[in-house]
Structure 1
Amino acid sequence: MLCLTMPVLGGMTFLKPPKPIVLAYVGGFRGVVDADNIMAEKLTHINYAFVDVKNNRAWLHNLATDTTNFRKLNGLKKRNPALKILISIGGWAWSENFSDAVLSDTSRQAFARSAVDIVRQYDLDGVDIDWEYPGMKGEDNVFRPEDKENFTLMFKALREQLDGLKQQTGKPYLVTTALPGFKEIFTHTEMGKVQEYLDFINVMSYDFYVSGPTVGHHTNLFPGGGVANEPSGDRAVQLYREAGVPMEKLVLGLAFYGRGWQLTTDNHQEVPRQAVKTNRVGGFTFIKDSLLTNPAFVRYWDKKAKAPYLYQPEQKFFISYDDEESVRYKCRYTRKKGMAGVMFWEYFNDPKGYLLTEINRQFP
């Protein structure tokens, strides 16, 4: 990443730090993307979610829609010429075939070539891999012990293929990945080796709790206390550092959506919290405009966790989410730690841009 120099007194110069990454995952799985309403000037990167894996190749699941979306997203560069558009391959639903696709050197090369062909054909800026999960069960994915080494070799193949494309076009290309914040992932990956081929890693520091019976903050920055080995964004970052990933290659994940549960008791402050049912919540625009304005829902702030939550006592409804205050703390955390920036899932969960606007306040 280019660093500009700034003159100061005495003939000395200092490096101007690079602009922090502000990366949005934009879902193309819903159909044609409403690109006109994406605040492109407030973003540095868009990861297009998702490209499927089929027959050991990167595969556009909905060709007509995907190609239309690539054109629309590239059109945003008229408003922000520095914006980078990447394809994100996999995701929760489309990771089942990764293990087979990268099982041999021949298949890895074919997979990498197919991904780079999409980048070349649609004039994009790189490849993001969202394999959920190498060596571990995800939704219904194939996984095997060989995934550990093959995960590394996959990125090596992608890096080499994209470097080859760069020699043809003169344009640099990015290789990135999205990975979870839980400890088990490090048993099944070689992050110290993997990071050598990556420009940065998007740490999915959210979904710490998805279903029950034990629930809590799903995207807290720090532990709130009262739970052994409580997951948090800070803990995830430290795990990646311990695994050999430089801080400047880590991007902290923000959740632009909430998760909710019906608790077993009416004591919402008791930890660990226990739930009897999972409830759908929605994105932050809905939370801010419809729930925070509803007197039945009360907002609380966990000072230790640096995390908000809503509680509706009549239904014992507990909602965990990110808001402007927690986003502010997370952005300041990344600057203090020397991280690359922040990313979030998913852009249209907050179409009014409440949280993106706050990110830009912190990253002027």
Structure 2
Amino acid sequence: MNVRVRFLRFRASVSLLLMASLIFSILSFQEKTASAAGESNYKIIGYYPSWGAYGRAYHVWDIDASKVTHINYAFADICWNGIHGNPDPTGPNPQTWTCQDENGTIQVPNGSIVLGDPWIDAQQTNPGDSWSDPIRGNLKQLILLKQANPHLKTIISVGGWSWSNRFSDTAATQQTRENFANSAVNFLRKYQFDGIDLDWEYPVSGGLPGNGYRPEDKRNYTLLLQEVRNKLDAAGAQDGKHYLLTIAAGAGPSFRQNTELANIAGIVDWINIMTYDFNGGWQSISAHNAPLYYDPAASAAGVPDAQEFNGAAAVQGFLDAGVPAAKIVLGVPFYGRGWSGCANANNGQYRSCTGTPPGTWESGVFDFTDLQNNYINKNGYTRYWNDTAKVPYLYNPANGNFISYDDTESLGHKTAFIQSRSLGGAMFWEFSGDRNRTLLNKLSGDLLGGGGGNPDPGGDTTAPTAPANLRVTGKTSTSVSLAWNASSDNVGVTGYIVKYGGSSVNVTGTTATVGGLASGTSYTFTVQARDAAGNISPASNAVTATTDAATGVQPWAPGVSYSINDQVTYNGVVYRCIQAHTSLTGWEPPNVPALWQPV
């Protein structure tokens, strides 16, 4: 065979190989594209405020974790000279506390992250806990929620409106930046979080008047985030995971001017823009809490900064500042804002008003569920729609109350906006505002394809079998111990839900001790199993147990000196003293959780 023939055959072979490679690449790309089309890369991030477990009576176990990808727990604080908190009298909670962990007062370097409310965060005994558990409270419940929902990631949010007073000091020096970053790693590891969210309101200017500010905040914020990123990456390499770093960002132009957004975007995993609170009771003219688009009628009526204060303008500002679209998360409110005494013209919209009406929990602020149950086309309120801003509102001509809020229609426009701009997803404040899950279901259905945040590529819809042979294995005056036979599942059981009355407890094994019960009281229990896809089994057999009567424990009384670990009864519940004191009238155990803890 001559050289020319060998060359032609070689060239033909190469051509065939290249063509085969090209075809394989095209098919592979098509397969990946088809696969990606069936899954969602959007994030849905919900804030859970620690105080939700107090008067709101909304607990971690009330969260439908299948509808979100991440939970931001709000808030941790920064320790400085042994204390944390913000004494600014204009703030909602102007006081300070000693820096504490789940065991009591601690000594840590300035700039360290500490629990914001140690009692509710990690000390309170919830059903299923024992007072001897090292970590209890909301943080234990978050850990259990993740065990039951393997897709879920939890993030500790630091600061917020009330507790941003020490960010400027912390970011100001290399030493305090290192203190903050080191404490971030320790906090994530200790309390089993997957990341940290910095909610600094705000660098350079803004926020509460008593907060610390410096012109250098603009540069120092970037340096602080870079230090945290370095420490998280080093820890992640040791722990075999990627720790998340995010920030909550103001939506107005001042935040963009006072931060190095392009540099920050290269450090953080994403940025949650607080595209709400654009207007509220601090101004005398009614307007919209979270308009998606600019309404020229707002400017014409004198609404401040209307051209900048809307979701679309905020997102465009971040894009123009160099933030990639995929790292922008749009904030949506699960609440509305209202005004009272608004002039009866234009259905109360963009009118002069005299004040704010009583809200759900605070003046002028309404949970969506409250609006849904009591206001929307009820009790003299009529729903209207602003088709320019793409938001609904309510007006009652009898009292002049105007309420701006979001519903499923406005969220549909916002999720379409997220998709059309290829943004990273949606963030909302906060879970307890939507107890009927109307808004949460809308976000999940639009952004997660209806499958929720608990993805199951195999399409598993088979529920586990019901747990069998539920039985009582022990009881005290304040607890009942249970055991049951394991359920089976086609993929695998990830946990169990123990239910009694209106309460529930998540556990991973086939035993549970439900604590914090009233003495001499009958309780009926059932158990259900949960799998990784979120399928829930039928209930087990029910068992009823009556807790023992309290013996040897005296009722609480004023004027008595109590020592640590003394126990008393109050309204049938046994409490343990956690701080020595002499009781006074009004210091009944349920009223002073800093002194008494349910056993």
Give the TM bin, normalised by the shorter chain: over 0.9
Q: Following the alignment from structure 1 to structure 2, what is the Cα–Cα distance between the partners of residues 174 and 271?
A: 41
Q: Secondary structure at the match of 2:378?
A: coil
Residue of structure 2 equivalent to 1:172: 242
Measured after TM superposition, the shift of residue 109 of structure 1 is: 0.7
Taking structure 1 as reference, are residues 172 and 146 closer, same or farther at Cα in structure 2, changes over 3 Å only?
same
Q: Following the alignment from structure 1 to structure 2, what is the Cα–Cα distance between the partners of residues 243 and 172?
A: 26
Q: Following the alignment from structure 2 to structure 1, what is the Cα–Cα distance between the partners of residues 405 and 227?
A: 37
Structure 2 counterpart of 1:225, from 285, 296, 300: 296
Task: Give the AA of the match of 2:265.
Answer: Q
Taking structure 1 as reference, are residues 182 and 269 closer, same or farther at Cα in structure 2, changes over 3 Å only?
farther
Q: Secondary structure at the match of 2:356?
A: strand
Q: Following the alignment from structure 2 to structure 1, what is the Cα–Cα distance between the partners of residues 73 and 349?
A: 37
CA shift digits 1:225-249 (9 cap, x unpaired): 2234511100100010111101100
Task: Give the AA of the match of 2:65.
Answer: A
Residue of structure 2 equivalent to 1:40: 65
CA shift digits 1:14-67 (9 cap, x unpaired): 441643101100001344661221000011000000001121221112224213
Structure 1 counterpart of 2:121, from 66, 70, 81: 66
Whether 2:42 is the aligned partner of 1:20: answer: yes
Structure 1 counterpart of 2:284, from 188, 192, 213: 213
Taking structure 1 as reference, are residues 142 and 73 closer, same or farther at Cα in structure 2, changes over 3 Å only?
same
Residue of structure 1 equivalent to 2:426: 342
Q: Following the alignment from structure 2 to structure 1, what is the Cα–Cα distance between the partners of residues 160 and 62?
A: 24
Taking structure 1 as reference, are residues 281 and 29 closer, same or farther at Cα in structure 2, changes over 3 Å only?
closer
Residue of structure 2 equivalent to 1:204: 274
Residue of structure 1 equivalent to 2:413: 329
Whether 2:173 is the aligned partner of 1:109: answer: no
Q: Secondary structure at the match of 1:178?
A: strand
Structure 1 counterpart of 2:340, from 242, 248, 262: 262
Measured after TM superposition, the shift of residue 144 of structure 1 is: 1.1
Q: Following the alignment from structure 1 to structure 2, what is the Cα–Cα distance between the partners of residues 201 and 29?
A: 24
Task: Give the AA of the match of 1:336.
Answer: S
Q: Secondary structure at the match of 2:238?
A: helix
Q: Secondary structure at the match of 1:197?
A: coil
Contact 2:292 2:312 in 1 (8 A): yes
Structure 1 counterpart of 2:383, from 299, 309, 312: 299
Q: Following the alignment from structure 2 to structure 1, what is the Cα–Cα distance between the partners of residues 228 and 393?
A: 40
Q: Following the alignment from structure 2 to structure 1, what is the Cα–Cα distance between the partners of residues 44 and 172?
A: 33
Structure 2 counterpart of 1:126, from 186, 195, 199: 195
Residue of structure 2 equivalent to 1:4: none
Whether 2:370 is the aligned partner of 1:276: answer: no
Whether 2:446 is the aligned partner of 1:362: answer: yes
Q: Following the alignment from structure 2 to structure 1, what is the Cα–Cα distance between the partners of residues 251 and 28?
A: 44
Measured after TM superposition, the shift of residue 137 of structure 1 is: 2.5
Contact 2:348 2:402 in 1 (8 A): no
CA shift digits 1:181-240 (9 cap, x unpaired): 111111211101111111010010000012112331110111122234511100100010
Task: Give the AA of the match of 1:65.
Answer: I
Contact 1:212 1:274 in 2 (8 A): no
TM-score, with normalisation over the residues of structure 1? Answer: 0.94
Q: Following the alignment from structure 2 to structure 1, what is the Cα–Cα distance between the partners of residues 269 and 351?
A: 38
Contact 1:308 1:320 in 2 (8 A): yes
Contact 2:377 2:383 in 1 (8 A): no
Structure 1 counterpart of 2:394, from 306, 310, 329: 310
Cα RMSD (Å): 1.9
Structure 1 counterpart of 2:152, from 83, 87, 99: 83
Task: Give the AA of the match of 2:168.
Answer: S
Contact 2:274 2:330 in 1 (8 A): yes
Contact 2:289 2:405 in 1 (8 A): yes
| Greater Rg by CA | 2
Q: Following the alignment from structure 1 to structure 2, what is the Cα–Cα distance between the partners of residues 212 and 318?
A: 13
Relative contact order (alpha carbons < 8 A, sep ≥ 6): 1 or 2 greater? 1
Q: Following the alignment from structure 2 to structure 1, what is the Cα–Cα distance between the partners of residues 159 and 266?
A: 21
Q: Following the alignment from structure 1 to structure 2, what is the Cα–Cα distance between the partners of residues 31 and 133?
A: 27
TM-score, with normalisation over the residues of structure 2? Answer: 0.58
Contact 2:347 2:395 in 1 (8 A): no
Stretches of structure 1 lacking an aligned partner (at least 5 in a row): 1-6
Q: Secondary structure at the match of 2:276?
A: coil
Q: Following the alignment from structure 2 to structure 1, what is the Cα–Cα distance between the partners of residues 350 and 437?
A: 33
CA shift digits 1:262-300 (9 cap, x unpaired): 244211457643222123242101100111151400000
Taking structure 1 as reference, are residues 79 and 147 closer, same or farther at Cα in structure 2, changes over 3 Å only?
same
Taking structure 1 as reference, are residues 224 and 118 closer, same or farther at Cα in structure 2, changes over 3 Å only?
same
Q: Following the alignment from structure 1 to structure 2, what is the Cα–Cα distance between the partners of residues 321 and 262?
A: 15
Taking structure 1 as reference, are residues 348 and 98 closer, same or farther at Cα in structure 2, changes over 3 Å only?
same
Residue of structure 2 equivalent to 1:250: 328
**Bigger shift: residues 31-40 or 44-53:** 31-40
Taking structure 1 as reference, are residues 8 and 350 closer, same or farther at Cα in structure 2, changes over 3 Å only?
farther
Contact 2:342 2:348 in 1 (8 A): no
Task: Give the AA of the match of 2:232.
Answer: L
Q: Secondary structure at the match of 1:309?
A: strand
Q: Following the alignment from structure 2 to structure 1, what is the Cα–Cα distance between the partners of residues 279 and 153?
A: 31
Task: Give the AA of the match of 2:200.
Answer: W
Taking structure 1 as reference, are residues 41 and 270 closer, same or farther at Cα in structure 2, changes over 3 Å only?
closer
Whether 2:240 is the aligned partner of 1:156: answer: no
Q: Following the alignment from structure 2 to structure 1, what is the Cα–Cα distance between the partners of residues 153 and 267?
A: 18
Contact 2:286 2:342 in 1 (8 A): no
Contact 1:22 1:43 in 2 (8 A): yes
Task: Give the AA of the match of 2:214.
Answer: R
Number of aligned residue pairs: 358
Task: Give the AA of the match of 2:383.
Answer: R
Contact 2:53 2:59 in 1 (8 A): no
Q: Following the alignment from structure 1 to structure 2, what is the Cα–Cα distance between the partners of residues 28 and 295?
A: 32
Name the % identity.
36
Higher helix share: 1
Stretches of structure 2 lacking an aligned partner (at least 5 in a row): 1-23, 81-110, 123-136, 300-304, 358-363, 450-599
Contact 2:46 2:71 in 1 (8 A): yes
